[in-house]
């Protein structure tokens, strides 16, 4: 029955309906928390709209201007150091929350982007240049530099490990 529901309306709507059910339960148990959360959600949406517009703008122009073959060439198998640099720089300079970038990465993955680069991009989303002064304020310059360097270096290990583990599991099946 659940399988049928997934096929009929799509997993994305099942997910949203499930979240709505969670809100309904919270509304019954703790109405104030539910109302505050919902208004918090509305404020989040308003804040996220520019990023969302940017992401879908990039998706549109990627579809319009970039040939899938060129994505395979720069971010696919055999793209090597250039691919890593694009994934790392892309992850660092991209703004907004991580989940806003899932649609674009899904699109690029379908066009041939390597799994390792997708993982490295997502890992580097943790390096937030505009927030570095805040980290310096709380933890100091040395700590911020050391942690940032480790995060960037480990993003490559993360990408390699994720790709390896996914390939190994697929091979076992």
User: By the criterion CB under 8 A, which residues form the site for another protein?
Assistant: 10-13, 15-16, 18-20, 22-23, 26, 30, 33-34, 36-38, 40-41, 44-45, 48, 52, 56, 59-61, 63-64, 97-100, 102-103, 105-107, 109, 115, 118-119, 122-123, 125-126, 128, 131, 134-135, 138-139, 142-143, 146-147, 150-151, 154, 157-158, 161-162, 165-166, 169-170
Minimum separation from the CB atom of position 47 to another protein (A): 10
Q: How far is CA 135 from CA 8, 105, 131, 144, in A?
A: 46, 28, 7, 6
Minimum separation from the CB atom of position 171 to another protein (A): 12
Nearest to 83 by CA among 92, 91, 74: 74
Question: And the tokens for 93?
Answer: 């300079």
Minimum separation from the CB atom of position 36 to another protein (A): 5
**How far, in whole angstroms, is CA 55 from its chain's centroid?**
11
Would you say 163 and 115 are in contact if contact means Cβ atoms under 8 Å apart?
Answer: yes
Q: What beta strand segments (E) does 32-155 contain?
A: none
Distance separating alpha carbons of residues 82 and 91, to the nearest angstrom: 14
Minimum separation from the CB atom of position 156 to another protein (A): 11
Instruction: Tell me phi and psi for residue 128, to 5 degrees.
Output: -110, 100
Minimum separation from the CB atom of position 78 to another protein (A): 21
């Amino acid at each position: 029955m659940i399988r049928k529901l997934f096929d009929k309306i799509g997993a994305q709507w099942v997910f949203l309906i499930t979240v709505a059910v969670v809100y309904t339960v919270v509304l019954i148990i703790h109405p104030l928390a539910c109302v505050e959360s919902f208004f918090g959600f509305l404020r989040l949406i308003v804040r996220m709209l520019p990023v969302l517009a940017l992401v879908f703008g990039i998706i549109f122009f990627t579809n319009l201007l970039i040939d899938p073959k060129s994505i395979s060439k720069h971010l696919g198998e055999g793209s090597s150091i250039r691919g890593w640099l694009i994934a790392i720089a892309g992850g660092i300079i991209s703004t907004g929350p991580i989940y806003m970038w899932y649609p674009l990465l899904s699109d690029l993955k379908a066009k041939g982007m390597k799994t390792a680069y997708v993982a490295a991009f997502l890992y580097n989303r943790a390096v937030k240049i505009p927030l570095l002064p805040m980290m310096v304020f709380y933890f100091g310059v040395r700590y911020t530099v050391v942690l940032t360097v480790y995060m960037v270096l480990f993003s490559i290990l993360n990408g390699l490990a994720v790709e390896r583990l996914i390939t190994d599991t697929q091979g076992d099946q």
